[in-house]
Structure formats: C-alpha cells, structure tokens
Structure 1
Amino acid sequence: MNHRSIRQKLQSVQYFVLDMDGTIFRGKRVFPFAVTFLQELQKRGLNYIFLSNNSSKNVWDYRRMLSGMGFPVETGQIYTSAEATIEYLKKKRIGKRIFLLGTERLRQSFEKAGFEINLTHPEVVVAGFDTELTYEKLDQACAWIRKGVPFVATHPDLNCPVENGGMKPDCGAICAAITAATGVTPKIPGKPHREMLEGLLSRTKTTPDKMILVGDRLTTDIKMGNDFGIFTILVLTGEATRQDLKTSPIQPDVVLDKIIDILDYMD
C-alpha cells in the first residue's frame, strides 16, 4: 500500500487493537516509543484496546503493569485469551470443574468467573501459559485427556518474547507435548480464532472494518486480522522478522519497524 492509502485507512479507524508482548513491551522492558505513541492517541481522542494471548497474567496484573509503564488504562481496555476461554466455556456449558495447567493468576481468573479447580473429577482440561508447570501436572492432564475429558487451550503461541531478544516456551509448546502424548489437539479460543474476535467486538461495539490490529506475530495477530477483515500492521519489535515475511503465506497490510512509525501516516 502507498502512503496515501494507509493514511486514508487510519483516518477511518474507530479502534486501534494493540497486541502487548513484543509490540508495547518485551518481557518487563517497555518500549519508550510505545509510551509516546499511546500518549499521541490519547491527545487525538482515538480509542484503543489491548489484546493479548498471554494468559499467565490476568487483566488486573496487566492494568498494574501498564500503569507502571506509563500507560493509564482501565481493565475494560484489556482483553486476553484467558477471558476469551472463560467466555467460550460458559457459552458451550462444557462444565464448571477444571483441571488447570496455568499460573496462580490464571487460576484466580477462572475462580472469579465461577469455575472450580478440580483435580479429581474435572469436566475439562484447560492449558494456559503455565510458567509454574511441573511434570506431575503435565502427566495428570494427559491422563484425564486420554480418558476423554475435553481439552481446551487459551492460545496457540509456541514462544513468548522476553527481554534481550530471548524466547520462553509458551502455551502452544505445552500443548504440543500433550498432543504428542495423547493424540488430542485442543480447542483454542484465543488469537487468531473467532472467539477472540467475538469478545473484542462485544467490548468495542464496532465492526472489523473500523479496526486496525497492530501486532508482532504473523500466525496470531496478522492471521486474525486477515481471517476476519481487520486491517493489519506488523511491527518488527517481537517475534516476526523480515525474513519470515519472505516465506510466510500470512502477510500484513503494512510492515513497520516499530509502533510509533504509525504516526508518520497520521499527520
């Protein structure tokens, strides 16, 4: 797309949908230019919502984290794969008793939503980005899945970007081990799937053609945009690289080095 076309699209947007890990910050390191970008959106009265697949934290953690990084935000401006999974389980009425592969923060989110963490008679196995994973939990989860208990995962990301260019095994990597052991693949409500889109639309009260999705991952952020008609901007501060773009069938509408470069098309 040329500069004029991008500028016209930005002028029609009602909501900026912003990924967090790899887009706004990496690990515990905030990108200073991202603070400037958000401040500029606020000055212009533009709406934005943070969208994250990372289910190791809950929305209250993210609110505290973002506020501490210089992003004043309400919990209603944050939507995660954990919330999408909770809404999916409630909608499908799969069950209230959960065997959870997840952090204490994810556990709190499920319990607050009315679910029971149950190790002896679960109705569903839920996997998240479990930074507290043990072999015992992995073994027990596989045992329940082999017995026919439904398997749901918050999101498919294989790795999570951290400081200094590193990566940590994410929910998708945990699920790959479970699938290898059981032959069962999970249902995934998080990006890039429709359940995440539905939750996003219900919060923003707008339509996909009035959104711009900004993220660092081709297989989740950009694929979700492509699948559901959302204009996409890939930033190169997280997972994806220009080399990835040469071979990937998933292509964004625009590629920028970093999120603040969007402002070049808004003046």
Structure 2
Amino acid sequence: MENLGKIKCFLLDMDGTINLGAKLLSGSGDFINYLKESGRDFIFVTNNSSKNGRHYVQKMRNLGIDCSSNNVLTSGEATANYLNSLKPKAKIYLIGTPDLEEEFINWGFTLTAENPDYVVLGFDMTLTYEKLVIGCDLIRKGVTYIATHPDFNCPTETGYIPDCGSMIELIKASTGKLPKIIGKPNDLIIKSAFRKRPQYKLEEFAMVGDRLYTDIKAGVCADITSILVLSGEAAMKDVEESDVKPTFIFDGVATIYQKLKEADETK
C-alpha cells in the first residue's frame, strides 16, 4: 500500500462513505482522527448545492467529527470558485436557495436578472415559476448556462425528491439547451478542491466514495487516486460490470485507516 501512504489529502464523499443519514459509519471517527494525527488533510465533497458549508460543518459536528468550513466543498462553492477563475465579480442570474445566494454574494458576484454574464442553476428547493421563466428567457438569448451538479434525485428520510438534474431536464424541454456542469462526476469540482489545497501535488490527492458513476468517475476524470468503499451504494458486482475502475476497493473507511497505519509503520 505504498501509494496509499503517499496520499496527503482525502476528498471524501459523505453519505454512504462517512455516514448513513444521521448515523456515523463504523471507523469513520478513527479514520478522520488518524488523518489529523498523521499530518494528513481531508475535504468533504458534496454535490448538494442547496446548503452551504456551514450546514455540513454542523452536520459533521453533530455526528462527532470536528471540522471547519475549510474541510467542506459543495458543488455550489465549486461553481462559484470556477466562475471566479473565469470572471471575478461577474453578474449572475442565480436559480438557487438563499444559502446558495449567500455563497455567491460572499464570492463578490452580483446577483441580477439584468444583462447577466451567466445563468447558474443549483438544487433550488425554493424554485418558483417566475425564476424558471426568467432563466429560460436568458438561456434562449444565449447567456452562458452553468449548473452546479447533475443529480436527478436527492435522497431524504422520506424518499427521493427532485434534484438539480431534474430541473436541468425541465429547462432543456423548454429551451433545448443543456448547461456546463461542475459537480461530480465532472472533474471541475475536483479542480476546485485543488484550488482549495494548492500546497498538494496531484498524486497526493485521493477521491473516496461509494458511487462509481459519481465519486469514482470524478476521481478518474481528474487523474487522481480513487478509492471505492463498499459501505454504501456500490457492490463488487457493479465494479465488474462498470468501465469505471477505482485504484483501490475497500469495505469502508475503517479499512483505509488500517491500511494507512500499516503503510506508515513500514516507512
């Protein structure tokens, strides 16, 4: 496990990888604590753009994991980061929640429907018909169209609810246009993590998650180490049938913790 021992920053999916809903998965606390003790780093990477980093910091703290906003990257932040790299202080028509609006304002963007540089679609749980009408009109006029992530559904305690991908399809039906997408499985969200941690080399990052078609594919697309954990959605059968191949496969993050310790002890 020499290569695993060289990883300095772990990009971590949450649900199915670190936790299942309001329950911490076995070994997750030990894993995070060992990363800190051994001088390693971590970022929780989520496609959900309806909440900001503060929400996930509190969620992790409630589960017993101490972290800060510097340890969280949402697709909303990644989208703001990406657009800031293209045009700082741009004018944006944003279809998103108040949390996402706050994220973009904090990055220095102006939120407006008057001659915007970009239309940005997030997972908008406050979506209105008026927002759709304005957004579709701007998109038809040729304003550059960006979406935070492609997930069709968001899992909740009571079942699935329509996510950003469903809204993308609604807008496509009206305008015929598809957006540039930032979140997993696209590598732009991983590149945003790189900008968040510029001190590390490419080979010192690893993406860890339980979904082949989002988490692992994002790692593969970004050309970094990818680690599939079998504690959530994916099973070995899925790996055998998929053309997306992770660098490592473990039962869960508890196994990563043990393998890291072994690698460190043999240095």
- Which of the five TM-score ranges fits, normalised by the shorter chain? 0.7 to 0.9
In the alignment, which residue of structure 1 is the partner of 2:127? 133
What is the aligned partner in structure 1 of residue 265 from structure 2? none
Determine whether 1:78 maps to 2:37.
no
Pick aligned residue for 1:186 from 179, 198, 201? 179
* Match status 1:169 vs 2:162: yes
Equivalents in 1 of 2:64, 2:222: separation in Å? 31
**Which residue does 2:249 correspond to in 1?**
255
The total of aligned residue pairs comes to 260
Distance in structure 2 (CA, Å) of the matches to 1:253 and 1:104: 38
- Measure how far apart 1:134 and its partner are: 3.0
Preserved CA contact (<8 Å) 2:89 2:110:
no
Tell me, yes or no, if structure 1 residue 45 matches structure 2 residue 39. Answer: yes
Find the aligned partners of 1:175 and 1:239 in 2 and give their Cα distance.
24
Task: State the match for 1:157 in structure 2.
Answer: 151
Pairwise CA distance, 1:215: 1.0
**Residue deviations 1:222-244 (CA, integer Å, cap 9, x gap):** 11221232111112344434443
Q: Which residue of 2 aligns with 1:87?
A: 81
Secondary structure at the counterpart of residue 132 of structure 1: coil
Q: Is the 8 A contact 1:24 1:30 kept in 2?
A: yes
Stretches of structure 1 that go unaligned for 5 or more consecutive residues are 1-6
State the AA in 2 paired with 1:257.
Answer: D
How much is the aligned-residue C-alpha RMSD, in angstroms?
2.4
- Output the CA distance in 2 between the equivalents of 1:126 and 1:27: 28
1:103-122 maps to which residues of 2 (within 5 A)? Answer: 103-122=97-116
**Alpha-carbon distance between aligned partners in 2 of 1:142 and 1:14, rounded to the nearest angstrom:** 43
Identify if the C-alpha distance between structure 1 residues 48 and 96 changes in structure 2 by more than 3 Å, giving closer, same or farther: same
CA shift at 1:210, angstroms?
A: 1.5
8 Å CA contact 2:53, 2:69 repeated in 1 = yes
Percent identical across equivalent pairs? 40
**How big is the shift at 1:186?**
0.6
Take 1:234 and 1:156, find their aligned partners in 2: how far apart are those partners? 20
In the other structure, the counterpart of 1:19 is: 13
SS at match of 1:126: strand
Equivalent residue number for residue 3 of structure 1: none
The structural deviation recorded for 1:56 is 1.3
Tell whether the 8 Å contact from 1:28 to 1:163 is kept in structure 2 after alignment: no
> Structure 2: which 5+ runs fail to align?
263-267
CA distance in 2: counterparts of 1:231 and 1:97, whole angstroms: 36
Larger mean CA deviation between 31-40 and 220-229 belongs to 31-40
The SS at the match of 2:76 is helix
Secondary structure of the residue aligned to 1:39 is: helix
| Paired residues of 1:29 and 1:163 also in contact (CA < 8 A) | no
Q: TM-score normalized by structure 1?
A: 0.85
Q: In 2, distance between residues paired with 1:23 and 1:161?
A: 15
Q: 1:120: how far off?
A: 4.8
- TM-score, length basis structure 2: 0.85
* C-alpha distance in 2 between matches for 1:219 and 1:237: 15
Give the residue type in structure 2 aligned to 1:89: L
